[in-house]
Amino acid sequence: MNEKLVPWAPAQMTFSDYMSQPLPADAIRFEGPQSFYGLTMMDLEKFIAHHGKEKYRTQQLYKWVYEKKVTDFEQMSNLSKDFRAELKSLFTFELPKVLTHLKSVDGTQKFLFDMGDRQTVEAVLIPSDDRMTLCISSEVGCNMACRFCFTGKQKLKRRLKTEEIVGQFLQAQALLPEGWRITNIVFMGMGEPLDNPEAVFKSIEILCNDWGVNFSRRKITVSTSGIVPEMWRIAASKTRLAVSLNGYDDESRTRVMPINRRWDITELLNECRQYTRLTKDLVTFEYVLLKGISDQIEHARALHKLTRDVPCKINIIPFNEHPGADFQRPSDDTIEAFHAELMRLGVHVLLRRTMGRDIFAACGQLTSAYKEHPGQMDISNSNLGGKHVADSRRGELGLR
C-alpha cells in the first residue's frame, strides 16, 4: 500500500522518505584544515573515503575525539604514522573561547563565548533537582524581533556554524566539575534555530552519534518562534518541539511576535498537531506573562480554548525585565492567579521558576552586548570544574 504524501514537506515525499534522507550537509571541503567538530559521521566518512581510507577509521576517529577526548593525532595509537601526519594538516579542534563565566546565587551559570570574529553568544547552564540543562545559542542576534526578548533587539549578525554550536556544549561540559554531566539541551538561547536549520540539525546529529557524545535525542528540545515550513525537521530529528506562543489569539500574538503576520496561529497549530501525530509526543507551548497585556484571567481562558485540541503542555514564563524593555513583569499574585486558572481548567501547565536573573541569564535576557549587572559573581578566574576560564581577549573585545 502506498504511504500518504506529507503536505508539510517542501517536496512530494512521504514521511518515511524524509526519515531516510540524510540531513542536508554544509558544503564539505576536502582540503584542510577544517574543524573536526563540524563534521557528522556521514561527512567524515566521505572525507575519509576521499583520502582513500577505510570506513571504520571514521568510528575510530570519533571515538578518540568525543569519547576519549584526545585531540592530538600523535596519541591515536591505532592509526598509522602516515595517516596521523595527514590528519594533522586536515583538521583543527578549536572551540569557542569562554570570555566570561558567571554564576548566579541560584546555581545558574552563564557563559559568554567568543566565536573568533569578534562575535559573541551566550549559553546558560540551569541546574535543577534531577537535571542539568544547557540552553544553547544558534545565532548571533536574531531577526525575529519578538518584542519581549532582549536578543530580538539586536539584529541578526550571523548564523553560527555547526562546530560553534557543538563547541558550546563541549566547553560547558568541560567546565563542569569531574563526574557532572549535562543531561538536557534546549535550543532556547540566542537566535531562532529554524532560521539556521542546517547547522542546528547537523550539530544534533553530531551530539547524538553513538560513537561520539551519544546524547539522547529525547533530551534535546528545539524551540521555535514558528517558522512553520521548517518545523518538520524537529520531528524528523526525533527531538522535542517547543513553540513560543505568547498570545491567546492572532491579535495578541502579532502584538509581541511579528512572525505571526507571516504564519498565523492556525498554520502554527496545524503544524504542531502534525508533530504530535508523527512523534506521539507533546508540544511545549511557552507563554510569557506580560503585565496588563497577557496576564488576565480571561487570557488564561482564551489560551486554554486555543490549545485544548493540541496534545501539549504550557510553560508560563513571567516576563524577565531587561534594559529598554517595553513590558513589565506581573505581580506574584497575578502570576499565581493565571497559573491557578489554567490548572482549574485541567491544562497541563508549569509555572517556570525564574533562574539566573541576577546574572541576566533568565529567559529572554540573553544578548551578545555584554553588560555588568548587579549581584553577579564573575567566576572566570575561579577553578570551577578544574579549569581556569579567564581569557586575554576580554580586553581586546572591550569586555572589562
Catalytic residues, by residue number, are 122, 363
Identify residues 43-72 at the interface with ligand SF4 (CB under 6 A): none
Answer yes or no whether residue 154 interacts with ligand SF4 by CB under 6 A: no
Q: Which is nearer to ligand SF4, 17 or 264 (CB)?
A: 264
Q: How far apart are CA 37 and CA 194, in angstroms?
A: 20
Using CB under 6 A as the binding rule, whether residue 225 contacts ligand SF4 is answered as yes
Nearest to ligand SF4 of 228, 389 (CB atom)? 228
Q: Does 356 bind ligand SF4 (CB under 6 A)?
A: no
Per the DSSP assignment, residues forming a β-bridge with 186 are 135, 221
DSSP-derived 3-state class of residue 304: helix
Total site size for ligand SF4, rule CB under 6 A? 12
State how far Cα 41 lies from the chain centre.
21
> Residue of minimal CB distance from ligand SF4?
152
**3-class state of residue 277 by DSSP:** helix
Asked if 96 touches ligand SF4 (CB under 6 A), the answer is no
Backbone phi, psi, residue 42, to 5°: -65, -40
Q: Is 203 in the site for ligand SF4 (CB under 6 A)?
A: no
User: For 311, left (φ over 0), alpha (ψ -120 to 50), or beta?
Assistant: beta
Which span sits near ligand SF4 by CB under 6 A: 14-22, 69-77, 142-150, 271-279?
142-150
Between the alpha carbon of residue 359 and those of residues 62, 113, 326, 362, the distances in Å are: 36, 15, 20, 8
Q: 3-state class of 115 per DSSP?
A: coil
Contact call for residue 192 and ligand SF4 (CB under 6 A): yes
Helix, strand, coil abundance in the chain, percent, nearest 5? 35, 15, 45
DSSP collapsed to 3 states, 216-268: CHHHEEEEECCCHHHCHHHHHCCCEEEEECCCCCHHHHHHHCCHHHHCCHHHH
Determine if 142 is a binding residue for ligand SF4 (CB under 6 A). Answer: yes
Stretch that binds ligand SF4, among 27-35, 149-157, 201-209, 233-241 (CB under 6 A): 149-157
Stretch that binds ligand SF4, among 27-35, 53-61, 63-71, 140-148 (CB under 6 A): 140-148
Under the binding rule (CB under 6 A), the answer on residue 121 touching ligand SF4 is: no
Shortest CB 248 distance to ligand SF4, Å: 18
Q: How far is the CB of 364 from ligand SF4 (least distance, A)?
A: 6
Q: Which of 100, 151, 203, 365 binds ligand SF4 (CB under 6 A)?
A: 151
Neighbours of 337 (CB within 10 A): 15
- List contacts with ligand SF4 (CB under 6 A): 142, 144-146, 149, 151-152, 190-192, 225, 244
